[in-house]
Amino acid sequence: MAVCYQSSFSTFPSTDLSKPNISLSTNFRCNLSFPSSKTLITEPEPLFTLVKSFAPATVANLGPGFDFLGCAVDGIGDFVTLRVDKDVHPGEISISDIHGVGNSAKKLSKNPLWNCAGIAAIAVMKMLNIRSVGLSLSLEKGLPLGSGLGSSAASAAAAAVAVNEIFGGQLSVSDLVLAGLESESKVSGYHADNVAPAIMGGFVLIRSYDPLELIQLPFPEEKELFFVLVNPEFEAPTKKMRAALPTEITMSHHVWNCSQAAALVASVLQGDLRGLGTALSSDKIVEPRRAPLIPGMEGVKKAAIEAGAFGCTISGAGPTAVAVTDDEEKGRDIGVRMVEAFMEDGNLKASAMVKRLDRVGARLVSSIPRGQMSSESLFDSNTHKAIRQMTWCAYSLSLDVAMAS
């Protein structure tokens, strides 16, 4: 039997009742506190009986951007199917099933309080003040756990977006990131460098947490950017990876990494892939401590660069290695070389994939409007949302095919 959790306090206000458009040049600011002066949200009715959402994998840190930079990767991630469920007590959520790659289904709890998707879903239900509707959630893991690809963040992001959209999408991007952060803080630490890009897409800079300020860094539309993601069969020793971080940093290393992070941001905004790659490879603080803990990583990085990648580093806390290139075919060759290097230098089996930059972030991929509401009436009553929904549905067709292949 699924474990439920009652989401609604008597009157839980939203952190930010306005919903800014998702603009690529917008800075998102959201105060973490809940000032009493804010208008309390009226509980919204569900617009759909079922929604299915997708949230992409993410690469955090990006070398010198440790703990404040991340980006989303297209075509690989987690799905959440969320339905209005009369068998679930109003104001509560239940996780009905978890399935997907590897042993994630076995390892993940169905208790929403102990599940990334569940925690984020509850946080959004609180923000929306949901008291009258019960929900059940099905989680489909496309990402392996502990791979360094933002697995927990993808689940949280997909769940947050699903809950928000089933009730008409009233919350802002900042709110959704805050809900995701609530989840991340319980499973992997209070950092948004996975969950923010998982929700927003593209490259995101976490400028501050209190208040939460996120800067979206648009990579030029006309330019191609591919990530070569090589995941070895190796469980990164999380405690060791964290313990490996230095507590003190020399001034010269600080200035170096700082300038490389700044250069990385400039390269992203200017569409300079060579510059981006150089910055990605340049970390002198975290990567040199963590790479030796992943067998073969140093050789893998060398192999990627020799094979023509613009740059290479550890994705998140590893063990996945990430390299960047501007050509999908070349990306495959780079991937082959990196897989070989993992075997030669680290005696580890590994698999490679080449994925585009995800520029969209978490989104609906399909939905069923409530019984009494036809497609026409939905369109008439809420043109903007209907168009958005149609776009997402169209997008989902190709995405679902890609994910199934």
Each residue 9-38 as x (binds a copy of itself by CB under 8 A) or -, in order, gives ----------------x-x-----------
Among 187, 249, 353, 393, binds a copy of itself (CB under 8 A): 249
Q: Could you say whether residue 251 binds a copy of itself (CB under 8 A)?
A: yes
- Which tokens in the block code for residue 292? 């030796």
Q: How far is the CB of 227 from a copy of itself (least distance, A)?
A: 20
8 A C-beta contact, residue 131 and residue 6: no
Q: Which stretch binds a copy of itself (CB under 8 A): 64-72, 86-94, 295-303, 307-315?
A: 64-72
Residue among 87 and 210 whose Cβ is closer to a copy of itself: 210
Residue 192 and residue 296: Cα distance in Å, rounded? 29
Q: Could you say whether residue 262 binds a copy of itself (CB under 8 A)?
A: yes
- Which tokens in the block code for residue 181? 């952060």
**Amino acid, res. 192:** A
Among 13, 44, 65, 361, binds a copy of itself (CB under 8 A): 65
8 A C-beta contact, residue 66 and residue 286: yes
Q: How far is the CB of 292 from a copy of itself (least distance, A)?
A: 19
Q: How far is the CB of 32 from a copy of itself (least distance, A)?
A: 17
8 A C-beta contact, residue 117 and residue 180: no
Q: Could you say whether residue 386 binds a copy of itself (CB under 8 A)?
A: no
Residue among 51 and 261 whose Cβ is closer to a copy of itself: 261
Q: How far is the CB of 314 from a copy of itself (least distance, A)?
A: 17
Q: Is 279 helix (H, G, I), strand (E, B) or coil?
A: helix
Residue 68 and residue 135: Cα distance in Å, rounded? 33
Pick the catalytic residue from 11, 42, 238, 250.
238
Q: How far is the CB of 282 from a copy of itself (least distance, A)?
A: 9
Site for a copy of itself, residues 136 to 175, rule: CB under 8 A: none
Residue 135 and residue 342: Cα distance in Å, rounded? 44
Site for a copy of itself, residues 196 to 235, rule: CB under 8 A: 205-208, 215, 217
Report the sign of the C-alpha dihedral through residues 322, 325, 328, 330, in that order. negative
Among 17, 22, 244, 263, binds a copy of itself (CB under 8 A): 263
Beta-bridge mates of residue 231: 351
Among 196, 261, 294, 300, binds a copy of itself (CB under 8 A): 261
- Which tokens in the block code for residue 172? 């802002």
Residue 167 and residue 144: Cα distance in Å, rounded? 30
C-alpha radius of gyration, the chain, whole number = 21
Residue 154 and residue 76: Cα distance in Å, rounded? 10
Q: Which stretch binds a copy of itself (CB under 8 A): 87-95, 116-124, 253-261, 346-354?
A: 253-261
Q: How far is the CB of 90 from a copy of itself (least distance, A)?
A: 42
Dump the DSSP string for 143-212. Answer: S-TTSSS-HHHHHHHHHHHHHHHHTT--S-HHHHHHHHHHHHHHHT-S--TTHHHHHH-SEEEEEEETTE
Q: Could you say whether residue 67 binds a copy of itself (CB under 8 A)?
A: yes
8 A C-beta contact, residue 108 and residue 278: no
Q: Could you say whether residue 259 binds a copy of itself (CB under 8 A)?
A: yes
Among 5, 12, 54, 66, binds a copy of itself (CB under 8 A): 66
Pick the catalytic residue from 140, 165, 184, 287.
184
Q: What CA–CA distances, in Å, run from 371 to 91, 116, 256?
A: 21, 30, 59
Residue among 214 and 293 whose Cβ is closer to a copy of itself: 214
Q: Could you say whether residue 239 binds a copy of itself (CB under 8 A)?
A: no
Beta-bridge mates of residue 315: none
- Which tokens in the block code for residue 18? 């306005």
Q: Could you say whether residue 383 binds a copy of itself (CB under 8 A)?
A: no
Beta-bridge mates of residue 6: 92
Give catalytic status of residue 238 as yes or no.
Answer: yes
Q: Could you say whether residue 68 binds a copy of itself (CB under 8 A)?
A: yes
- 97-108 per-residue burial string, b: 16 or more CB within 10 A, e: under 16: ebebbeebeeeb
Q: Could you say whether residue 264 binds a copy of itself (CB under 8 A)?
A: yes
Site for a copy of itself, residues 285 to 344, rule: CB under 8 A: 285
Active site (catalytic) residues: 184, 238
Binding interface with a copy of itself (CB under 8 A): 25, 27, 64-69, 205-208, 215, 217, 245-251, 254-255, 257-266, 269-270, 272, 275, 285
